[in-house]
Amino acid sequence: MLSDRKDLILKWCSLGCSVGSVLVLLSLYAFIAAESLPIWRDVGIMSLLFNQEWRPLDELPQFGFLTMLVSTLWSSLGAMLIAAPLGMCCGIFLAEFAPRWLSAVIRTILNILTGIPSVVYGFLGASVIVPWYELVFSVPSGESLFCASFVLSIMVVPYIVSGTYAAFNSIPAEYRESGYVLGVSKMYVTARILFPLARRNIITAVMLAFGRAAGETMAVLMLAGNTLTLPLSWFSKGEPLSALIALEIGTAAVGSRQYQALFAGGLVLLIFVSSINFAMYYFNGRGRS
């Protein structure tokens, strides 16, 4: 193909630009790791991850993420418990059962739902869902990991739906036709033929949604109750890792132990979410080839 001078300029500009921006993105890992390095060295990995106490400003400060890690797991796994069945049902419904117009309407609605910012979900959860929860369970203050999970599940459902929908849509029509030829019901074809074919992509969608739920900040910040005690049940209050970072980074003195510890918490969250993302990328990639 012919290359003039402008072509070469564009080629090298686009190459330089993309390499540069990927390096900026990668420096995010480096920066967060570097800022937290001293505290990993001095306090120790085991102590940071498995100490229950978080008292950064005491005479003898304690830096342990266990409470926040458990809160993060409760809220995000709980969200999956609600969102995964709902999202899969809805995705299957849109791909196989819904009339075409209804499917289009619901997909537009899901598009709009993903566009609503998390602070609005958190706000509505805290001002509408929490009072209901207080009423139903007759407790004085309803902020809890359960409420956080509930709102998180609504936030991540669209991602599970679109993953499931795409997985079912990519299955060739012959599979359905050969099922119908044998005279079995549509339900049977969906459950026994199509679902196993789509399973890998559905697992990917659910795992990616799990990663999103684990890193989500504003909604859990407004709903989980923000108390630093180890949450023993889904209905206790807690403070997920992301909420801890958002609450304390603004007031932590730059370079202090608390500052380093918050970056250490960020690194834990980053590694957790990124490993899910990378694992799913390869898990899904292998299935396609």
Partner 1 sequence: MGRICLWGSGLVVISVLIFILSVLIVRGGGVLSWEFFTSSPKGLFLGTEGGIFPAIVGTASLIVISIMIAAIPALLTAIYLTEYGKASTLASLMNVVIQAMIGIPSILIGLFGYALFVVTLGFGISLLAGGLTLAIMIFPTLVVLMRDALQAVSDDYRILGESLGVSRRYVLQKIILPVASPHLLSSILLAMGYAAGATAPIMVTAAVVMSRGSASLLNPVMALPFHLYILFSQHISLERAYGTALVLVMLLLIINLLSLYLRKRYGKRVVSNA
Q: Which of 54, 65, 93, 168 binds partner 1 (CB under 8 A)?
A: 93
Please say whether the beta carbons of 75 and 220 come within 8 A.
yes
The label of the residue with tokens 């932590």 reads 252
The label of the residue with tokens 């993060």 reads 72
Q: Which of 144, 162, 242, 258 binds partner 1 (CB under 8 A)?
A: 242
Interacting residues with partner 1 between 55 and 84 (CB under 8 A): none
Query: What CA–CA distance (Å, rounded) separates 276 from 210?
Result: 9
The footprint of partner 1 on this chain (CB under 8 A) covers a number of residues equal to 85
Q: Which is nearer to partner 1, 11 or 41 (CB)?
A: 11
Neighbours of 240 (CB within 10 A): 34
Interacting residues with partner 1 between 144 and 203 (CB under 8 A): 154, 157, 161, 187, 191
Residues β-bridged to residue 197: none
Query: What CA–CA distance (Å, rounded) separates 276 from 209?
Result: 10
Query: What CA–CA distance (Å, rounded) separates 210 from 81?
Result: 10
Comparing C-alpha atoms, which of 182, 201, 176, 206 is closest to residue 276? 206
User: What is the smallest separation between the CB atom of 66 and partner 1, expressed in angstroms?
Assistant: 20
Instruction: Report how far Cα 74 is from the mean position of its chain's Cα atoms.
Output: 13
Q: Which of 38, 62, 270, 283 binds partner 1 (CB under 8 A)?
A: 270
Q: Which is nearer to partner 1, 105 or 184 (CB)?
A: 105
Tokens of 172: 């060739």
Single out the segment in contact with partner 1 by CB under 8 A; choices: 42-50, 58-66, 139-147, 266-274.
Answer: 266-274
Q: Which of 37, 73, 98, 230 binds partner 1 (CB under 8 A)?
A: 98
Q: Which of 214, 223, 224, 261 binds partner 1 (CB under 8 A)?
A: 214
Tokens of 202: 């559905």
User: What is the smallest separation between the CB atom of 41 and partner 1, expressed in angstroms?
Assistant: 18
Cβ partners under 8 Å of residue 184, min gap 6: 192
**Interface with partner 1, residue 120, by CB under 8 A:** yes
Q: Which of 66, 113, 171, 203 binds partner 1 (CB under 8 A)?
A: 113
User: What is the smallest separation between the CB atom of 94 and partner 1, expressed in angstroms?
Assistant: 7
Alpha helices (runs of H) in the chain, residue ranges in sequence order:
5-43, 45-50, 66-92, 100-115, 118-124, 130-137, 145-169, 173-181, 186-188, 195-215, 218-223, 241-248, 257-288
Q: Which of 46, 60, 181, 254 binds partner 1 (CB under 8 A)?
A: 254
Q: Which of 48, 90, 145, 189 binds partner 1 (CB under 8 A)?
A: 90
Single out the segment in contact with partner 1 by CB under 8 A; choices: 30-38, 61-69, 142-150, 170-178.
Answer: 30-38
**Interface with partner 1, residue 45, by CB under 8 A:** no
